[in-house]
Amino acid sequence: MSKATRLFGLHAVRAVLTHQAERVHRLWIQDTRHDRRLEELIALAQTHGIAPQPASRHELDRLAGGSRHQGVVVDVEMPPMRTDKALPDFLDRLEAPPFLLVLDGVQDPHNLGACLRSADAAGVDAVIMPRDRAVGLTPVVVKVACGAAETVPVFAVTNLARSLRLLKERGVWIYGGAGGAENSLYNADLRGPLALVLGSEGKGIRRLTREHCDGLLQIPMGGRVESLNVSVAVGIFLFEAKRQRMEGAKGKG
């Protein structure tokens, strides 16, 4: 069973109720708030047989540890992270060429949550990251992800290099993002079986991870800033790949 935790905020709680209501243990609703968004949340909970418990603003402040809760707090099992063993079968079940995001050691929960949101929006099949030296799915990650932690499969692997070798054996082309790379993101062909690898904040992709990439790409920079936040870079890489893949699908039609 996954570790139970506490989430709060309308977006995070709605996402859990919409996608994985069976993980909810208890739900508290502010007893003095009666706006439309909260009423819709109550109705959604009731469709899944969950009876919200009324609570005062003071009680919700305590349950949320003083964080902004928007009148709703929930006790819930955290989304499970898949392991190395499940990756081959997952790849076998994909009906289209894989589109994967690999995160090499992202440790900031806000960045990981934002990366998951971009992955969901871009239609990524799964996110792969090391089990160690990475933040994992914490309550902050789940809240920032705004539902993406429930919809995007996340694999926490014990050996990232070994997982990259597995992808290459299955015909997946692996591109890493690196500021000093010779080739531009916009000149690469990102339409086939693809894994995009982005590194941690500040350090980038580790040496061993780089060695398992088929190529390194950089985002052309036009100003004085030398690098971008990892979640911003992830969004740029993913949506360039999505653009190309959509254009490729139109061309086949």
Q: Where are the domains of the chain?
A: 4-77, 84-252
Q: Which CATH architecture has domain 4-77?
A: 2-Layer Sandwich (3.30)
pLDDT confidence of residue 253: 47
Quick one: which of 132, 139, 135 has its CA closest to 77? Answer: 139
- Strands, E assignment, the chain: 4-8, 24-30, 53-55, 72-77, 99-104, 126-130, 154-157, 173-177, 183-184, 194-199, 215-218
Mean pLDDT per 10-residue interval, the chain, length 253 residues = 75 88 93 91 95 95 90 88 94 96 94 96 97 86 86 95 96 94 94 95 88 95 78 97 86 51
Domains 4-77 and 84-252 share a fold: no
Q: Please, which residues bridge with residue 156 across strands? A: 129
pLDDT confidence of residue 252: 53
Measured CA to CA in angstroms, residue 236 lies from 22, 87, 201 at distances of: 34, 26, 16
pLDDT in tens, 51-79: 999 999 999 999 988 888 999 999 988 77
Q: Is residue 201 helix, strand or coil?
A: coil
Read off the pTM.
0.86
CATH label, 84-252, candidates 3.40.1190.20, 1.20.1440.120, 3.40.1280.10, 3.40.309.10? 3.40.1280.10
**Structural contact between residues 161 and 102, judged by C-beta atoms closer than 8 angstroms:** no
**Structural contact between residues 199 and 237, judged by C-beta atoms closer than 8 angstroms:** no
pLDDT confidence of residue 202: 76
36-47 and 10-19 helices cross at what angle (nearest 10)?
A: 20
